[in-house]
Amino acid sequence: MDLIICLTPLHSLIASRIVESKNIKEYDVLYVIENSVIKDKHDYYFNLISKNARKSLIQYNNISDSYIKRLYKMFKLLLFFERKYNIVYLGQFENLSILFLLSHIFFRKLETFDDGIGNIAKKSIFYEDFEMSLKWKVLNIKYNRQIIRKISSKHYTIFEGHSNIIENIELISLYDGGNIVDKTITKKHVKIFLGQPIYESDEIKNKVLAKNILDLVQPDFYFPHPRENYIVEGVSYINTNLIFEDYIIQELYANSNIYFNIFSFSSTALLNIYKLPRVSVNFVKFEECHEDVSRFLSYYDVFDKVGMKSINLKI
């Protein structure tokens, strides 16, 4: 019996591809959600990875949860899941609930998969050591970022041609290929801006920034990020339970004459789709580097390395 642990829709999509490629028959699923405002999207991808699971659990955690409530939720995990598993599949190395569960069960092997662009951006926090706080030690948490990197026997990656946080990698594709190749002459061009909340906990700044970039790009549609809790006026929204790369792939399958022009800030989704036929990808590069955007500098290196086009924006 294996255990698959997800924290995001992308985790679920990658994990479902691992299940298919390895023909995993018996597994349980834990899907942890932290402070998300878009429940339907998470529910869709929880159901995707859980459809053939023996048993599965989705846990919603909120920033308003008291420490006692958070403890209660973590101990509930121990009552729900088995105490022993063969392989644990994991995409995120820092979540308290996940590391608590890992520290109180037994498993023969740990295999990891990508969380996002931070896996291949050399200056991201994924490559920094993490010191356990007293709270973690009191809970007898045995694992942190560097320990998991050390004990992971294999890492599944969607980023072809890039070194990763774990050396032993296996490439996994998000799509099967099939009839995506363009065989038509007439193309329907569609320009989409993929949203991303740049400022943490500042709705007004995020709305102003989004409006400025939309005025510059003039997209046909806006695709909101799952963490957005604000509405950008003056643009048509794409409303779907699919995450962006999944949406684009399915649209390419369904419409042989469509051509997408994609713009975004520093989303992992850009790397997941830039090699697709009938897709042009552009990222927004901030001209000034201050605290709110400095974390994106290492992402720019990755985008530039693959030859992705950029547009500059002063904020």
Q: Is the pLDDT of residue 145 over 80?
A: yes
Instruction: Report which of residues 130 and 74 the model is more confident about.
Output: 74
Q: Which positions ≥6 away from 87 have C-beta within 8 Å?
A: 2, 3, 107, 108, 109, 110, 111
Contact at 8 Å (CB) between 8 and 14? no
Provide the pLDDT for residue 263.
95
* Tokens of residue 156, six digits: 């599944």
State residue 63's pLDDT score. 80
How confident is the model over 125-141, as a mean pLDDT? 71
Distance CA 278, CA 249 (A): 10
Report d(CA 296, CA 298) in Å as an integer. 6
CATH 2.30.110 fits 2-171, yes or no: no
Residue 292 amino acid letter: D
Q: What is the pLDDT of residue 179?
A: 60
pLDDT score recorded for residue 16: 96
The domains of the chain are located at 2-171, 188-313
- Please count the residues of the chain: 315
């599949």: which residue's tokens? Answer: 89
**pLDDT at residue number 307:** 87
Cα separation, 166 vs 113, whole angstroms: 10
pLDDT at 305 over 90: no
Mean pLDDT of 125-144: 73
β strands within the chain, DSSP E: 2-6, 27-34, 55-61, 84-90, 106-113, 152-157, 169-171, 188-194, 221-223, 258-264, 279-286, 309-313
Residue 34, pLDDT above cutoff 60: yes
* CA neighbor of 268 nearest in space, from 89, 19, 11, 38: 11
Place 42 in a pLDDT band, splitting at 50, 70 and 90.
Answer: very high
**pLDDT value of residue 250:** 92
Q: Does the pLDDT of residue 7 top 60, yes or no?
A: yes
Q: Three-state DSSP class for 242?
A: coil
Give every CB contact of residue 79 below 8 A, 6+ residues apart in sequence.
none
Q: Tell me if domain 2-171 and domain 188-313 are identical in fold.
A: yes
pLDDT value at position 130? 65
Name the burial class of residue 213, with classes exposed (0-12), middle (13-18) and buried (19+) by CB atoms within 10 angstroms of its CB.
Answer: buried
Task: Give the CA dihedral 28, 32, 37, 38, nearest 10 degrees.
Answer: -20
Per-residue model confidence as pLDDT tens digits over 153-211? 999 999 988 888 888 999 998 887 656 666 566 678 999 999 988 887 788 888 888 88
Q: Given a cut of 80, is residue 36 above it in pLDDT?
A: no
Q: Are 68 and 91 in contact (CB under 8 A)?
A: no
**pLDDT at 59 exceeding the cut of 70:** yes
Phi, psi at residue 291, to the nearest 5°? -55, -40
Chain segment 76-114, per-residue pLDDT in tens: 999 999 999 999 999 988 888 999 999 999 999 999 999
* pLDDT score for 160: 87
Q: Which CATH number fits domain 188-313: 3.40.50.11110, 1.10.600.10, 3.30.365.10, 3.40.50.150?
A: 3.40.50.11110
Percent of the chain whose pLDDT exceeds 90: 49
Q: What are phi and psi of 111, to 5 degrees?
A: -125, 140
DSSP class of residue 118? G
Residue 117 pLDDT grade (very low, low, confident, very high; cuts 50, 70, 90): confident
The per-residue pLDDT for 139 is 82
Kindly report, residue by residue over 220-246, the tens digit of the pLDDT.
999 998 778 888 888 999 999 999 999
Output the CA angle 6-294-297, nearest 5 degrees. 80
**pLDDT tens-place string over residues 246-292:** 999 999 988 888 999 999 988 999 999 998 989 999 998 876 666 66
Cα dist. 222→170, 176, 196, 232 in Å?
33, 26, 11, 9
Residue 291 has a pLDDT of 61
User: What mean pLDDT value characterizes the chain?
Assistant: 87
